[in-house]
Amino acid sequence: MSTQSTTGPTEETTVAAEQASENLDDVLPHRRRALRKKLSAAGPDGTPTVVIPPDASSLLTTSSAAASSSLKRSMLAFLSLSKPRLTALIVLTTMTSYALFPVDPLLASPAAPTLSALTLVYLTAGTALSSASANALNMAFEPAFDAQMSRTKNRPLVRGLLSKPQAIGFAALAGSLGVAALHIGVNPTVAALGALNIFLYAGVYTPMKRISITNTWIGAIVGGIPPLMGWAAAAGSTATEGTALELLSHPGGWLLASLLFAWQFPHFNALSWTIREEYKAAGYRMMAWVNPALNGRVALRYSVLFFPICFGLWWYGVTDPGFVVTSSVVNAWLTREAWRFYKYGGEKGRARGLFWASVWHLPLLLVLAMAHKEGIWRGVYEKFWVKPAEDEGEWEDEEEGEEEEQEEQATPLTAVTRAVQVVPIKR
């Protein structure tokens, strides 16, 4: 009887799957693909399994292994060390913060813009190199653990495409060049923040993943520092003393950092829940399996936090009032998915729903912030619909010049009279 009870559900699942396969022809064409995907994703017990797509590093590693040229193989392997998608996200948040810095209209002009394009180039390159350094060190310290997880087992050190000394050497070179670029082309404060982030990610977050669930909060701090870097870079263009206290004194930079800090939790908590058993087997201390209830609460808590953060961006003059309205729509969507994730504990596809909501939430929020930057629409209005003050001044000068010409023509002896008055009389 025990054998029958053990195999019963599996047999029923198999029969149901066969019946569903037979009924594919009866399903509408646009529904067939979804049904096939659902059937192929079903596990042996009939429950759907979530497959995490490979990250950019894994895809580049696959391309590197298949490359025929040794040079191309090495370049792709080293590029995969940088975690390109993560690095691109970090650079994007840094650039957005730089662009959102409120510039005083009295200090800016089309002829001499306050925000320098060259500074932005140095900021972008330095941030990308610093991020690549931190990511390479992360991979160099964890090849044995990466090999135990489906999401990371295809990384270059696990596949043997690069050695640990090569990864550390790449990280040292990229980090040195990145921090140097930030120091020379931006300012020392931004360079210090870049170096601090390399240390926090590789030296604190990476080992703490195997010690305590607080690693998630450390990782969130790492994610919040790039917006501070962008803000400090923009503030340096108008600073008088250039100290770190002056560059980071405006609340706007800290609000943008808080936005990225809060975003880490709904995003990573949903992602980690889908592969919680792999984290557990590899020895990583993640909330998803150590304390699943806390995992859901934290994701919901920080999703709600977006509302006051976006309100603060308007309150302190970074965005206009419209941002409070439009951002609330996007934040409400994320909060709804976070509530469902918390309510069902990640089951019924709620983890996947929250994960994809977080993936879209951040770029949408950054685009909205850029579109609602304080003064941007006023500048557009003044450019196309308001008569410039400079033109009015020029017209006034022209009118005064015409009046003077008319006076001189009416009194031709005026100039002679003035000359006589100037010449002294000799006695």
**Domain for residue 424, yes or no?**
no
**Domain for residue 398, yes or no?**
no
What's this model's pTM, rounded to 2 decimal places?
0.77
Residues 64 and 177 in one domain: yes
| pLDDT confidence of residue 239 | 80
Residues 269 and 195 in one domain: no
User: Which candidate, 179, 190, 178, 352, places its Cα nearest to that of 274?
Assistant: 352
**Domain for residue 406, yes or no?**
no
**Domain for residue 427, yes or no?**
no
Mean pLDDT, the chain, integer:
81
279-287 long-range contacts, CB within 8 A, separation 24+? 279/149, 281/148, 282/145, 282/148, 282/149, 283/145, 283/210, 284/145, 284/209, 284/210, 285/209, 285/210, 285/211, 285/212, 285/213, 285/215, 286/209, 286/213, 286/215, 286/216, 287/213, 287/216
**Domain for residue 175, yes or no?**
yes
Q: How many residues does the chain have?
A: 427
Which neighbouring-strand residues pair with 373? 319
Using DSSP, state whether 415 is helix, strand or coil. helix
Residues 212 and 256 in one domain: no
Domain termination residue (choose one: 219, 249, 279): 249
Indicate whether 13 pLDDT > 50.
no
Number of domains in the chain: 3
Residues 234 and 258 in one domain: no
| Maximum average pLDDT range among 239-243, 321-325, 403-407 | 321-325
Residue 115 and residue 99 in contact, taking contact as beta carbons nearer than 8 Å: yes
**CATH code, domain carrying 367:** 1.20.120
Residues 20 and 92 in one domain: no
**CATH code, domain carrying 215:** 1.10.357.140
User: Which candidate, 219, 193, 223, places its Cα nearest to that of 205?
Assistant: 219
Residues 167 and 131 in one domain: yes
Tens digits of per-residue pLDDT, 310-361? 999 999 999 999 999 999 999 999 999 999 999 988 787 789 999 999 999 9
Which neighbouring-strand residues pair with 48? 42
User: Which candidate, 128, 150, 139, places its Cα nearest to that of 77?
Assistant: 139
- Rounded mean pLDDT of 275-304? 94
Domain termination residue (choose one: 184, 216, 249): 249
**Domain for residue 404, yes or no?**
no
Residues 140 and 27 in one domain: no
Residues 245 and 281 in one domain: no
Residues 257 and 340 in one domain: yes
Domain with 279, as residue range(s), is 250-375
**Domain for residue 402, yes or no?**
no
Indicate whether 9 pLDDT > 50.
no
Residues 357 and 336 in one domain: yes
Reduced 3-state DSSP string for 19-37: HHHHHHHHCCHHHHHHHHH
**Domain for residue 394, yes or no?**
no
Q: Tokens at residue 53, please?
A: 């797509």
Using DSSP, state whether 48 is helix, strand or coil. strand
Residues 114 and 218 in one domain: yes
Tens digits of per-residue pLDDT, 188-227? 999 999 999 999 999 999 999 999 999 999 999 999 999 9
